[in-house]
Amino acid sequence: MHGWLGLAMIPLGLGMAFAAFMKRRSRMTTVTPAGQIRPEFAMMGEIMRPVVLFVVGIFALEMVLLYFVFGGAKFLTALDFGGVMFLLATYTGYLLVSTSKQTPVPVVEPSGEADGSSVQTAA
């Protein structure tokens, strides 16, 4: 079967995009306590993200160069090439979503009064 690689990469890319969407959604609704991760590990993650993105970009650039300039159509179909590029793009998106800093959610402290009489209105 010709083009099986591309047919396999497209669902994987869609799964990666769905996982990124779910991770972003869960990050928007959860509050992470301060000091959850040690600072040196957080710094290591911040340093590695650009390195991984650079490697993925170089790999994608090499794939494009080899496919269009050196006749990669003899070895890969357009579906295969498109599937690999789609998976690389969704992986990059997932990496950006999963390693970005979480937006702080303001903590609402209970006031102790249940009737709401402490709310002031402008006169």
Between 63 and 120, the more confident residue is 63
Please say if the pLDDT value at position 16 is more than 60. Answer: yes
What is the Cα–Cα distance from 49 to 31, expressed in whole angstroms? 23
Does residue 32 form part of some domain? no
Does 117 fall in a domain?
Answer: no
Instruction: Tell me the C-alpha distance between 104 and 30, whole Å.
Output: 9
Q: Is residue 14 assigned to a domain?
A: no
With 60 as the cut, is the pLDDT of residue 2 above it? yes
In this structure, the number of other CB atoms found within 10 A of the CB of residue 25 comes to 11
Kindly tell me if the per-residue pLDDT of 102 is higher than 70.
no
120 in any annotated domain: no
Q: Is the pLDDT score of 121 beyond 60?
A: no
Range of the domain at 88: 53-100
- How much is the pLDDT for 62? 93
- As a whole number of angstroms, the distance between CA 59 and CA 65 comes to 10
Q: How far is CA 99 from the centre of its chain?
A: 7
Q: What is the rounded average pLDDT of the residues 69-97?
A: 89
Domain contains 94: yes
3-state secondary structure of 8: helix
Domain count, the chain: 1
Q: Tell me, what's the pLDDT at 111?
A: 63
Residue 59 lies in a domain: yes
Looking at the domain assignment, is residue 65 inside a domain?
yes
Q: Which residues contact 5 (CB under 8 A, 6 or more apart)?
A: 76, 80, 83, 84
In a domain? residue 42: no
pLDDT in tens, 23-77: 888 877 776 665 566 666 666 667 788 888 899 999 999 999 999 998 888 888 8
